[in-house]
Amino acid sequence: MSKPKLGVFKFASCDGCQLSLLDCEDELLDVAGAIHIANFLEASREVVEGPYQLSLVEGSVTTPHDAERIREVRRESEFLVTIGACATAGGIQALRNWADVEEYTEYVYAHPEYISTLDRSTPIKNHVQVDFELRGCPISKRQLLETVNAFLNGRRPNVPGYSVCVECKRRGNVCVMVAHGTPCLGPVTQAGCGDHGALCPSYNRGCYGCFGPMESPNMTSLEQWWRSLGVPERDIVNALRASFNGYAEPFREASDAIAK
Ligand code: SF4
Ligand code: SF4
């Protein structure tokens, strides 16, 4: 029986999430034994045409060409998984979504007249149907392998939807917010970072939300906590917006409501 074909596609992104797949040094041969890596330009120039049984999509949509290309990728893919903060939330490039993109373009490019770009950076799910989202900046290689394994075995990936706080409790961390008054986004951020979870609080610093929103985050409670620590409204808005996941729905809605 032929192996299912895997395609890995890049949109506006830094390539870090694709590298997580190449970073699976010990497991990569097993992955290659179970699945045909048919289209992965970061790893090989050889491209086997679709359709692909599994497609991993990194990056956000920022140009009219991207908006067209993601529809082609969707047509060629039986199961489409978005990987990383850019693909699931718009990425750090979504900072433009609260600004004037033409002004930004003039700051960055010597010849902005050659730049063709959209005024918003948007996640892949805003353009096509997505079968599963893997969060993180970058994604966790453990969760990536679990997702590929789940796909091969016809089951749903076992990826937690709970918060970083749960991992803090498991690790026996002293809460930086309760004990030290350090603002932390852990209560609303999805678990999964590092080898053992709760990476930043384990080193006595607050979480800044690189894994994006958990399932059903209580943003109101988080805001109240931060206010009780004396964090100014403007800083709450900036903490929610100026990150890789600022345009993810719960973070965006909360920061827009405060900034109104
Ligand atoms: S340090 Fe942050 S992530 Fe850990 S328990 Fe406290 S609020 Fe939650
Ligand atoms: S900011 Fe730190 S604690 Fe929070 S999800 Fe990212 S790595 Fe984990």
pLDDT digit string, tens, across residues 36-95:
999 999 888 889 998 999 999 999 999 999 999 999 999 999 999 999 999 999 999 999
Measured distance CA(121)–CA(101) in Å, rounded = 10
Q: Is the pTM of this model over 0.85?
A: yes
Pocket of ligand 1 (CB under 6 A): 164-165, 168, 173, 175-177, 184, 186-187, 198, 201, 207
Q: Which of 162, 164, 189 to mutate to test the pocket of ligand 1 (most atoms within 8 A of CB)?
A: 164
| C-alpha 197 to ligand 2 mean position (Å) | 8
Q: For ligand 2, atom 4, which residue shows the shortest CA distance?
A: 207
Measured distance CA(138)–CA(157) in Å, rounded = 18
Element (H, E) at 172: none
Strand order in the sheet with 36-40: 36-40, 5-10, 52-58, 77-83, 132-134
| C-alpha 183 to ligand 2 mean position (Å) | 13
pLDDT digit string, tens, across residues 186-213:
999 999 998 889 999 999 999 999 999 9
